[in-house]
Amino acid sequence: MLQAYGKDSILLDVGANIGSHLLFAAAKGHSVWGVEPQTINLVKMYQAALMDATNSRITFLQNTLDKDYLKVYIKQTLGNIGGSYVMNEAGGDSSLEQIQSVLLSDVIKHIQFNKRQTENLTIIMKVDIESYECRAFLGSPLVLNSTHSGFYIPYVVMEWTYAQGKQPPYKYPAACPRKSVVHMTNLFTANGYIPFSKNRIMLNPNTSDTWKADVIWQHKNAHQLFFDKGRYLLRQTTQTKREDAR
C-alpha cells in the first residue's frame, strides 16, 4: 500500500505495539508516525530504530486515541503485551501507567505541522487499539473526508474484533458497542471507503457482525489494490432483485 504512493507517503501506525509495521516502513524510506501508550514498547522500538539507523524517519507519540481528552491507565495483559487495554480508573493499582488520550485529528494536525504541509499529504493508516477504533474515528469524523481535510487517506488497515460469539446475539465490548460499530461503518462508507478482508475479498458493510480479524478500508479513488468494487455492487443489486421478487 505504501509502495502504491511512493516514498512521500506516510505511515500512521496507531497502536504500534513493538513496531513490526512501523520499522519495516521506515526501512523502506517512508516517514512514519507511531502512536503507542506503553513506555516499554516505545523503548524497544526506539532501540530497534537506532540499530537500523531509521530513527530520523520515525516520530513516536505516547498517547491513546479517544473521542474525548482523558487521563487513562494502561493495563497489561500477561503473556500478550499487544493485548493491553485502556482503563478509566487505576483501581488502586499504583503500577499502572497514566496516559493522556488525544483525538485522531490532533495527530493528523501534528503530522501536517511537522511536515510544514497542509495539503497533498498521503497518509496510510494501520489501527489496532483494542476496540477503541470506533471512539477514535467517531471522535474525529472529518479525517475521512478527503474533500475538506487537506490530506488523503487511501487505505485504513484496522483490527476488527468487535462481535464476539459464533452466532447472534453477539457480545460487543463496552468501548465499542454494536451501535457505535454501525456508525463507524457508515462513516467509512459515506466517505467513499470500501471494506475488504485481509484475503482481498470485498465485504458487505451491512453484515459487519460477520467480519473477523483485519479489515482493509480502501477509498474509491485510491489505487485499486483489491478486488473490483463492482463485484460487491453486482452482488448487492442481484440480492435486491431477489428480495423484490419475493
Q: What is the pLDDT of residues 25-58, one digit of tens each?
A: 999 999 999 999 999 999 999 999 999 999 999 9
> At 218, which CATH number?
3.40.50.150
Question: pLDDT band at 117, cuts 50/70/90?
Answer: low
The predicted-structure confidence for 178-235, as pLDDT tens digits, reads as follows 999 999 999 999 999 999 998 888 999 999 888 888 999 999 999 988 865 455 444 4
Residue-wise over 172-202: b if at least 16 C-beta within 10 A, else e? bbebbeeebbeebbebbeebbbbbbbeeeeb
Contact 144, 153 (CB under 8 A): yes
Q: Which residue carries 493499582 as its cell?
A: 93
* pTM to 2 decimal places: 0.86
Q: Residue 147 has what pLDDT? A: 76
SS3 223: coil
**What is the number of structural domains in the chain?**
1
Residue-range definition of the domain harbouring residue 168? 3-245
**Over 50: is that where the pLDDT of 100 sits?**
yes
